[in-house]
Amino acid sequence: MNKHPLVAVSLGIALLPAFACADPAPVTAMTPDIVEKYDAVLPDADYVRRDVMVPMRDGTKLYTVIVMKKGVAKAPILLWRSPYDAHGDVARGRSLRLVDLVPAVDAPFVEDGYIRVYQDIRGIHRSEGQFVMNRPLAGPLNPTGIDESTDAYDTIDWLVKNVPESNGNVGILGSSYLGFTTLMAEINPHPALKAAVAESPMVDGWMGDDWFHNGAFRVSGLDYALEMSTGKADAGAVMPHGNGDDYANYLAAGSAGAYARKYGVDQVPFVRKLIENPAYSEFWSGQAVDKLMAARKLTVPTMLELGEWDQEDNYGAPAVYAALKDQPGRAQLTLVIGPWRHSGANHYGYDLGALTFAGDTAAQWRRDWMKPFFDHYLKGAPDPHAPAAITYASGIDRWEQSPRWPMGSATPLYLGPDQSAGFAAPAKSGAVSWTSDPANPVPFVPRPVHLGDRAQWTTWLVHDQRFVTGRPDVVTFSGKPLDRPLHLMGAPMVDMYMATTGTDADVVVKLIDVHPDDAPEDGPGARGPMAGYELPIGIEIFRGRYLKSFAHPEPLKPGMFNRFRFALPSIDHVVLPGHHIAVQVQSSLFPLYDRNPQSFVPNIFLAKPGDYHAATMRIGYGGATPSAVILPVAP
């Protein structure tokens, strides 16, 4: 009797050679040379693979790959639910060894007898149904009753009933979009779900993940929307915008909406959702996962992980942690911050751009914390007693454990006269001004810009900021060299007073660790590549029209100082003696974010060329306009 009635393709222990049949017909010169399939799981393979279609409560079947080492019994299941092709997740090489085929993050698990499960979420790649980007939880935005929470529940229910090698315990993990599906599985979770690790999760696409940051739109979201929207028919289509400088491409197109029209993606459903929802309406707030989780008691032990220099989703994990950390009676909750890019925890963690660390930091956290966490909850291994926060102190290269997060106390770093920065409030007041021209926006990396270049994209948050030195539209406030270490543990807060001659404005703030010019390498006195390096330890943007209300934008009053208050990314960083802190302020970060016309229009996606105007910006300091960056200084 077949114990797996829903198995679409059985790739378990092969009983016959790959092309075996009872009586092979003689071949001739005209025998067709196409075979129906080739089963790569040969009898000598050390693993079992099953490709199955798992039914959901509405009858939709989701493509799922189950792999495990041969001989596994009473084993835990580790699941991830992905929009990025489950079939490809177990096709990373040509080998008869499972450890060679799975992602690096999975190798220790499959070698230790875990059952690894990869699934295409509904409507994409080999799964049935309709794909909806970040499908909202069933409720006001989703009347179907079907969401990523119910699909996770139904998948887990099927797995524990139909995988005989299982011990009935399931863990879930994943990064980015998979971090989103991990968190959604914890809303109304299946009883068999015992532990979760959400890495760089997409949590709130308007506040600070993927699509917008504090109202400013990330234009590369158009490319991603097209790619995801063609996950079946056209297998990840791309816009034909050429291989030239993306700075020039986006500038020539005009607004983000004009760019979408130029390349024919303005009618892609999710692109329309972006264009039609530029403010923080119920469309966005109703999908915010931190809000959804805060409304329910956390019952699944959870680790929330992100990279200190996560260039895509640095908002989500700290937001969920903040929403849940004080919840009475909740399950274990740990925040992890490593010295990584987006999803860097699952890859090699020796370096990032020009930075090098003390060994493979990603492998260290997976070995010392993530796997023991799953082993404890899924296999009954000793409790690793994970603290509230596990963070890597960049600057001194060591892992730290903390009983709470943030650990730092709010300490203002004031902006002052002569573009100074210091811990004492300025004795006099004044302002620094510059002209921001949308026709010549500040690039976020040195030109030429190639948003599709992985090396450029994954390292932009650690790029030496000296490339904008000398631009008249970038203002730098510099502190004095430190005489002792300054340890920052938390999210620095911008508290800045700015005025504009326009009726809208963006504020971009960069917190920078400036290395001394005599930074040594390979011996005393050597001037290495880090000499004078201006290392960003936090970059963020805020769109002025949302100062009073994220949901209801208003024009700014020309000439009047407005108080901008917003958070920079969460960090654990030590600024060493001899280094100094700098704060850079500008009004564009292009083409990472769309240009602000600097004159108020109802919808910036639809701004016309005549709406874009140069404006004079002023930052106040001292007196009634005590601009500062509030640093989380740890003891």
User: How far is Cα 213 from Cα 567, in angstroms, rounded to an integer?
Assistant: 11
β-sheet bridge partners, residue 535 = 513
Lowest-confidence segment of 80-94, 124-138, 176-190 by average pLDDT = 80-94
Cα separation, 352 vs 458, whole angstroms: 8
Q: What is the CB neighbour count within 10 angstroms for residue 258?
A: 17
Q: Model confidence over 397-453: pLDDT tens digits?
A: 999 999 999 999 999 999 999 999 999 999 999 999 999 999 999 999 999 999 999
**Domains defined along the chain, listed by start:** 7-207+284-402 (3.40.50.1820), 216-277 (1.10.3020.10), 409-633 (2.60.120.260)
pLDDT at residue 24 in the model: 73
pLDDT band with cut points at 50, 70 and 90 for residue 22: low
pLDDT for 242 equals 85
Question: Looking at residues 308-337, what average pLDDT do you find?
Answer: 98
**Given this model, what pLDDT does residue 236 score?**
67
Whether the ω angle into residue 406 lies within 30 degrees of 0, i.e. cis, is yes
* Closest-CA residue to 405 (of 482, 476, 324, 481): 324
| Predicted local distance difference test score (pLDDT) of residue 39 | 85
- CB contact burial 486-504 (16+ within 10 A = b; e otherwise): bbbbbbbbbbbbbbbbbbb
pLDDT of residue 7: 40
Instruction: Count Cβ atoms within 10 A of the Cβ of residue 178 and give its class: 0-12 exposed, 13-18 middle, 19 or more buried.
Output: buried
CA separation (Å) from 533 to 12, 41, 240, 570, 579? 54, 51, 36, 21, 10
d(CA 389, CA 407): 9
Three state DSSP letters for 447-460: CCCCCCCHHHHHHH
What pLDDT is recorded for position 305? Answer: 98
User: Do residues 173 and 212 touch, judged by C-beta distance below 8 A?
Assistant: no
Q: What is the pTM of this model?
A: 0.94
Residue 364 host element (H or E): helix 361-365
Residue 191 and residue 172: Cα distance in Å, rounded? 13
Token pair for residue 134? 């970040």
pLDDT tens for 582-628 read 999 999 999 999 999 999 999 999 999 999 999 999 999 999 999 99
Of the given ranges (11-15, 507-511, 565-569, 597-601), which has the lowest mean pLDDT?
11-15
Q: Would you place residue 10 in the very low, low, confident or very high pLDDT band (cuts 50, 70, 90)? A: very low
Is residue 126 very low, low, confident or very high in pLDDT (cuts 50, 70, 90)? Answer: very high
Summary mean pLDDT of the chain? 93
Whether the predicted pLDDT of 1 surpasses 70: no
Structure tokens of 65? 């790959």
**H helix and E strand count, the chain:** 15, 28
Q: Of 67-81, 147-161, 521-535, 580-594, give the lowest mean pLDDT range.
A: 521-535
Q: What secondary structure letter does DSSP report for 125?
A: T
Nearest to 183 by CA among 363, 305, 55: 305
Separation CA 128–CA 8 (nearest Å): 13
pLDDT of residue 493 exceeding 80? yes
- Predicted confidence (pLDDT) per residue in 323-332, tens digit: 999 999 999 9
**Percentage, residues of the chain above pLDDT 90:** 88
Structure tokens at 346: 């699952």
Q: What is the pLDDT of residue 237?
A: 84
Q: What order do you get walking across the sheet with 61-69 strand by strand? A: 7-11, 47-55, 61-69, 115-120, 75-82, 166-175, 193-199, 302-307, 333-338, 389-393, 398-402
**What's the rounded mean pLDDT across residues 232-250?**
83
Place of tokens 């092979």: 24
Residue pair 316/286 in contact (Cβ under 8 Å)? The answer is no
216, 254, 266, 279, 456 from 605: Cα distances, Å: 11, 9, 11, 11, 26
DSSP, collapsed to helix, strand or coil, labels residue 559 as coil
Mean pLDDT along residues 236-244? 84
79: part of which helix (H) or strand (E)? strand 75-82
Residues 591, 246: Cα–Cα separation, whole Å:
7
Best CA proximity match to 147, nearest among 224, 233, 56, 83: 56
Is pLDDT of 26 > 80? yes
Mean pLDDT of 304-313: 98
69 pLDDT more than 50: yes
For residue 385, give every residue at least 6 positions away whose Cβ sits within 8 Å of its Cβ, in sequence order, or none: none
Residue with tokens 């009726």: 503
Q: Which of 230-244, 264-278, 360-374, 585-599 has the lowest mean pLDDT?
A: 230-244
Task: Provide the token pair at 456.
Answer: 């450029």
Give ∠ CA 624-475-539 in degrees, rounded to 5: 95
Q: Is the distance from CB of 269 to CB of 181 less than 8 angstroms?
A: no
User: Is pLDDT larger for residue 22 or for residue 442?
Assistant: 442
Q: Considering all CA atoms of the chain, what is the largest pairwise distance in Å, rounded to the nearest integer?
A: 96
Closest CA to 589 of 210, 218, 209, 202: 218
What pLDDT, on the 0 to 100 scale, is given for residue 48? 96
Residue 512 has pLDDT above 60, yes or no: yes
Q: Where does the pLDDT of residue 520 fall: very low under 50, low under 70, confident under 90, or very high at 90 and above?
A: low
Question: Does residue 238 carry a pLDDT above 90?
Answer: no
Is residue 3 over pLDDT 60? no
Q: Are 415 and 477 in contact (CB under 8 A)?
A: yes
Q: Would you say 213 and 494 are in contact if contact means Cβ atoms under 8 Å apart?
A: no
Across the range 556-585, mean pLDDT stands at 98
